[in-house]
Structure 1
Amino acid sequence: MPQSTQTRPADATRQAGASTTASTTASTARRSNARYQILGLLAVGTMINYLDRTVLGIAAPQLTKELGINAAMMGLLFSVFSWSYVASQIPGGLFLDRFGSKLTYFLSMTFWSLCTLAQGLVHGIAGLFVFRLGLGVSEAPCFPTNSRVVATWFPQSERAMATGTYTVGEYIGLAFFSPFLFMLMGAFGWRSLFYVVGGVGIVFGVIWWLMYREPRDHPSANQAELDYIEAGGGLTQRHKDSGAAAAPAKSGFEWRTIGRLLKHRQLTGICLGQFAGNSTLVFFLTWFPTYLATERHMGWLKIGFFAIMPFIAASIGVMFGGLFSDWLLRRGKSANVARKLPIIAGLLLASTIILANYVESNVAVIAILSVAFFAQGMAALGWTLVSDIAPEGLLGVTGGIFNFAANLAGIVTPLVVGFIVAATGSFVGALVFIGVIALIGALSYIFIVGDIKRIVLVD
């Protein structure tokens, strides 16, 4: 007789036991830490991102003399980056939701680095204008992608830490590379800055393409880590996100969705607050070297040395704010307290930048600016709130709206500062403007934002 193809009871028992053993082994296996490798990529990418957008500010004192650019026109050139950056936020978010993190970030970094490199080739205002516009378009998807990667790779209890870690890249690069960049400019001229920074970005774009994977595709992420991430609300992006070969995902987007999202106080409140925090940041990224050179009359080497201090302070502020927020959350505090308290405290403290107008010592000025920038770093948790409140499937678009509003500061602040300096010949009014905006941001988080909870769009 032919042997029966049915499983005997004893065999079934052994198979069930083996399955249970395998499941138990998987659940008790030591958890891998592949998410930290991904976080390292985000941190380096963000560092390069901010070097690319800030290098014009470092070059400005020398560049303005060679090209004959006054303060008002320089403010316009600082601002023009944010025109296209802001205008591209929602299209960038849509591209991200459709094509995924890997391809979006690769294309973004490659093109923004090319635009940076090209700025070193210009011989007039028109060329700078065009390539600053291109830089803004290319960089637009970066932070929505960062937010999406963190929401995918990290449980909620680690997201503020993760956001703080990649955000610190904004400041670390400027803190530790500023002396090198000032020395490079002194030795080879301002054009060399754009060649070096742009070239580094192109190389890292290739590294990102080769190394980034989604959690379920990552060779170093074991099941224990995947379970840990998913239990904390991560792994929400179910589709394969491996680049051009991935099947496009439907974002479920309609243009009326933007208006529906903005009706929720959580989003409008954090947009206003982030605008305020970004105003302080933009001042340091654009006018700070010129402030030291013209208002404080410092030489190149002294500027390179003193420029380190506020950026180191901001780096510490970012990490402190993220760790403090996650610590409060683990201690049982509500998301309202854990997420909003560091931001409110940071914005209030950032307003002390006004005090720099009333001291004579360069050391005292740098100390005040360092405290203000430390506080701005504390307040840089807005992207964590985006992850917490974005409707399911609309993280890219929500992040695009948030970044659109937040980076209006990149348009307004350089122009206002430039016009104030051109009109008065002093930075006194400019620092007052920055301090008042920070206070408005704190009031937004106190009175407008309300409860931190995921937005549900009801038809």
Structure 2
Amino acid sequence: MKAVGEQPMSIQDSSDYVIAAKPSKVRYVVLAMLLVATTLNYVDRSALGIVAPGLSKSLSLDKMQMGELFAAFGLAYSFALLPGGLLADVLGSRLAYALSLVGWSFATLTQGLANGYHMLLGSRLTMGALEAPAFPSNARSVTLWFPAQERGFATSVYVMGQYIGTPLFTGLLLWISTTYGWRSVFFVTGACGILFSLVWYRLYRDPHQHKTVNAAELQYINEGRSTGVQKAREKFNWRMALQLLRYRQILAICLGKFCNNTLLVFFTTWFMTYLIEARHMSMIKVGIFQALPFLGATAGILVAGSLSDFFIRRGVSVSAARKAPLIIGTLLGASVVFVNFVESNAMVIAILTIAFFAQGIGSMSWAAVSEIAPRQYVGLTSSITSLAANIAGVTTPLMIGYITHHTGHFYWALNLMGAICLLGTFSYSIFLGKLSRIEL
């Protein structure tokens, strides 16, 4: 019973009470879904590399054909990056991601039905094109769900999906391949993606449409958005893209990202074949050893941000602090050549773990891009540099396939990757120069 003289709670008081309540944590559920989706993304694109030794024998495919199949994904993905980003903007993350997930998962599944090179090629091209909306949808979701001060953390969490899926699931997928045949790997991974697309569509909503997010969390997200007057989004045009490519800093980062990404592509395509055919490891050893380089790369990503912040706290300029991880990581990535000079499989895995750890450090180029991009063309600059990085998804598999087909071993392929890392080091340390905002 209401006490005598007690005033009824006004609408404003009720609103203040709700706002004062503890913010809900729905954004972390969304982040967990983004991590799962990104993990599935990379497991699906890596599945061909996992079963490549058995698949190539079963379908009588040579090394050049396998290289072309690996490269087909990167080719389609690169061309579809811009349309994929536009699709995420037009349809929103919920629908765009669901369609992308179910589409690339069906394309993954059809690889298990392939009876030869051409059907596999069509499946890989389709999968590459349909995965393109995934990362733009990730970025859009993080921007909507996380305040500015938490976006760096959120981005690093879902980016880890690129690296943790392989060590977590490769052992299982190798066992499935050995027990039930290589086709079953594509059936399992494709089916998982299709099921998760339903989960995503059922659970995901933008913040203002989500039923379980409370007013306090919405206020926290909104208060943490970038302040200031936002300019209208610039429309994409090829003339401006060509103008940006006239700047030395952008060309340097494009070249550096391409060189650094070469190592990542090797580990997601030819790595299993190298362990089995060049190092003559058993499936059991491969299942155990393959995880270590990917865990190293995950640690590299986490170290990179801390390393850059450490330099800034020590009074180092922003330019030098942002460049240091890129130079150190890309240079250390050249250590991959040392596997050509050791016999011990344990030493081989140790060297590859160091090289992939370095690749993770060197992948922190997004921070450098944010320092140089014209303020009205940050998105366009990011797209250009991302496209340059993804070209490695085409050239690396073809390069390794051609060399191993004509030489019968990986010796010169690994040496060439080391030389590419040195080229990237030159680009970041000398060609890039001092980081400064480009003013148009």
Q: Is the 8 A contact 2:18 2:215 kept in 1?
A: no
Distance 2:249 2:85 in 1: 19
Q: 1:271-327, CA deviations, whole angstroms, 9 ceiling, x for partnerless residues?
A: 222212210011011111111111111121121111111112122222232454466
SS at match of 1:88: helix
The match for 2:350 among 360, 367, 375 is: 367
1:441 pairs with 2:424: yes
Against the structure 1 CA distance between its residues 144 and 57, is the aligned structure 2 distance closer, same or farther, given a 3 Å change threshold? same
SS at match of 2:160: helix
Q: Is the 8 A contact 1:83 1:136 kept in 2?
A: yes
Against the structure 1 CA distance between its residues 116 and 219, is the aligned structure 2 distance closer, same or farther, given a 3 Å change threshold? same
Against the structure 1 CA distance between its residues 265 and 210, is the aligned structure 2 distance closer, same or farther, given a 3 Å change threshold? farther
1:252 pairs with 2:235: yes
1:210 pairs with 2:193: no
Residues 331-346 of structure 1 correspond to what in structure 2 (within 5 A)? 335-346=318-329
2:330 corresponds to = 347
1:297 pairs with 2:280: yes
The aligned amino acid for 2:352 is L
The match for 1:401 among 365, 384, 389 is: 384
Superposed displacement of residue 34, structure 1: 3.4
The aligned amino acid for 1:361 is S
Superposed displacement of residue 176, structure 1: 1.4
Distance 2:359 2:116 in 1: 34
SS at match of 1:100: helix
Against the structure 1 CA distance between its residues 59 and 439, is the aligned structure 2 distance closer, same or farther, given a 3 Å change threshold? same
Distance 1:149 1:25 in 2: 25
2:126 corresponds to = 134
RMSD, matched Cα: 3.3
1:8 corresponds to = none
Q: Is the 8 A contact 1:167 1:380 kept in 2?
A: no
1:412 pairs with 2:395: yes
The aligned amino acid for 1:348 is L
Distance 2:186 2:317 in 1: 45
Superposed displacement of residue 339, structure 1: 3.9
Against the structure 1 CA distance between its residues 122 and 352, is the aligned structure 2 distance closer, same or farther, given a 3 Å change threshold? same
Normalised to the residue count of structure 2, the TM-score between the two structures is 0.87
The aligned amino acid for 2:344 is S
Q: Is the 8 A contact 1:161 1:319 kept in 2?
A: no
Against the structure 1 CA distance between its residues 132 and 98, is the aligned structure 2 distance closer, same or farther, given a 3 Å change threshold? same
Identity of aligned residues (%): 44
2:107 corresponds to = 115
1:246 corresponds to = none
SS at match of 1:280: helix
1:320 pairs with 2:312: no
Q: Is the 8 A contact 1:144 1:399 kept in 2?
A: no
The match for 1:48 among 40, 43, 46 is: 40
The match for 1:428 among 411, 429, 434 is: 411
Superposed displacement of residue 119, structure 1: 0.4
Q: 1:329-357, CA deviations, whole angstroms, 9 ceiling, x for partnerless residues?
A: 78887653554333332212111111111
Distance 1:84 1:428 in 2: 29
Q: Is the 8 A contact 2:18 2:216 kept in 1?
A: no
Superposed displacement of residue 397, structure 1: 4.6
Distance 2:413 2:236 in 1: 40
1:201 pairs with 2:193: yes
Superposed displacement of residue 221, structure 1: 4.7
SS at match of 2:205: coil
Against the structure 1 CA distance between its residues 46 and 453, is the aligned structure 2 distance closer, same or farther, given a 3 Å change threshold? farther
Distance 1:332 1:161 in 2: 23
Distance 2:301 2:406 in 1: 34
Structure 2 unmatched ranges of 5 or more: 1-6
1:34 corresponds to = 26
SS at match of 2:184: helix
The aligned amino acid for 1:204 is F
Task: Number of aligned residue pairs: give it.
Answer: 432
Against the structure 1 CA distance between its residues 268 and 421, is the aligned structure 2 distance closer, same or farther, given a 3 Å change threshold? same
2:138 corresponds to = 146
Superposed displacement of residue 167, structure 1: 1.6
Superposed displacement of residue 445, structure 1: 2.8
Q: 1:30-51, CA deviations, whole angstroms, 9 ceiling, x for partnerless residues?
A: 4544333222222111111111
Comparing 120-129 with 206-215, greater Cα deviation is found at 206-215
Against the structure 1 CA distance between its residues 279 and 20, is the aligned structure 2 distance closer, same or farther, given a 3 Å change threshold? same
Superposed displacement of residue 385, structure 1: 5.1
Superposed displacement of residue 404, structure 1: 1.7
Distance 1:130 1:194 in 2: 15
Superposed displacement of residue 252, structure 1: 2.5
1:307 pairs with 2:299: no
Q: Is the 8 A contact 1:329 1:338 kept in 2?
A: yes
Against the structure 1 CA distance between its residues 161 and 95, is the aligned structure 2 distance closer, same or farther, given a 3 Å change threshold? same
Distance 1:85 1:352 in 2: 29
1:272 pairs with 2:255: yes
Distance 1:156 1:314 in 2: 26
Comparing 302-311 with 100-109, greater Cα deviation is found at 100-109
Distance 1:454 1:209 in 2: 39
The aligned amino acid for 1:120 is G
